[in-house]
Amino acid sequence: MFDFFWNLGSFILALGILVTVHEYGHFWVARKAGVKVLRFSIGFGKPLLKWRDKYDTEYVIAAIPLGGYVKMLDERVDEVPANQRHLSFNAKSVQARIAIVAAGPVANFIFAIFALAVMYMVGVQSVKPVVGSVVEGSRAAQAGLMPSQQIIKIGDDEITTWQDATFALMSSLGDKSVAVTVRNENYQQQTKMLNLDGWKLDQQDVPPLSSLGIVPFRPQATLSIAAVTKSSAAELAGLKINDTIVAVNGETISNWQQLVNLITQSANKSLQFSVKRQDTIKIISVIPQARVNAQGIEQGFLGVAPIVEKWPQGYIETRHYGPLDSIVRGSKETWRLITLSFDMIGNLITGQISVKNLSGPVGIAVGAGTSVSYGFVAFLSFLALISVNLGVFNLLPLPVLDGGHLMYYIIELFRKKPVSEKTQEFGFKVGALLLIFLTCFALFNDVSRLSF
């Protein structure tokens, strides 16, 4: 229950910030263009808080925190007194209307630059992209990638983090192959050709690295217990922190994954654990609890976390940058996210990426809650990513979105006359239906990922 409210609160905070930024972009440019703004609302429904400024603009914080809007004086919507027609949105030039509509997504992109710049100034902690293992028979294995090699370049992209590697691989979707430059422990460099012919992200929640057979290096989990979940099978059986699991049913356990596999296959079955506690071996009877995973399969659950070995020296780096360098890096990263987002939309259309990977509000809420729990820097990174996605999504040429309005105004710019109201109305209906369908589909994907 705590996780639910934590994720919900984080979602409202993140969405509130990004919607405010987006709508303020429209608001600011509208004011500069001489358009009278009637209302600036964050949220929909019943107003919780409202006030007016000297320009008679009403500011509203409403009860349903799922968006916002800027209402401008517009003769197409309301009757406008003759003495105020010059202040209406529809009376402005098509160039001014394009600027006002485009300002929302642009504000999201500027905010992403700002968030990333602050993140770089505070300091970014990252893990070196060192290969831990390679899945036998995978594309990575066929390319000759080996454990302990550090990926330093993919295609033309310099790689310093696993996020860099993931983005570079996603940008290569649809290519026949990509060059991967690696460095071994002796600092010798090699370039491998990774075959991408026919590669698709067609499985839900399978990361690009995993689908290629690359397993990032992580310190090994030991068989000693670091934490015991309250009311779990482990606590009920009497397992304690610092206990070391030696054997199960007389069979020696050599690694943590072997234990996990055994537990998941033993729901509601009695297991005899041989546990080393201080200098003695104790035999403890454990019955793993049954849980149903996201695929609807019943699995055993023990309720313990292992003590993990320390990271090797130099594998985790924290980088700090000056203000100017941070802004440059934030701008470059924002541009990369923008181009990647458009690439992903294209790959969804062509089928390179499965629509099962679409996420909606629930997915965003879980991501927001997770990033907040990781700290300020992680939350800034999450905000930047979602801000870019929000900006790109709003630029799609669906008539109910900013991109749809821009499409009509650009047509007007070339035709020298507006698109007919009948055509616009039909487009808005079609766009609304498509948007509702996408939202429902994304929500379905979100719910299917949850385990109850």
434-439 long-range Cβ contacts below 8 angstroms, 24+ apart: 434/398, 435/398, 435/400, 435/401, 438/358, 439/360
Contact (CB, 8 A) for 347 and 174: yes
Contact (CB, 8 A) for 435 and 401: yes
Read off φ and ψ for residue 69, nearest 5 degrees: -160, 160
> Sign (positive/negative) of CA torsion 398, 402, 406, 408?
positive
Read off φ and ψ for residue 181, nearest 5 degrees: -95, 130
Name which of 369, 395, 394, 391 is nearest 382 in CA terms. 369
* Parallel, antiparallel or unpaired: strands 244-248 and 271-277: antiparallel
What is the arrangement of strands in the sheet containing 177-183, beginning at the earlier edge strand? 157-158, 150-154, 177-183, 189-195
* Active-site residue flag, 251: no
Tell me which of 23, 58, 75, 251 is the catalytic residue.
23
Alpha-carbon distances, residue 355 vs 203, 349, 352, 358, 450 (angstroms): 9, 9, 9, 6, 17
Known catalytic residues are 23
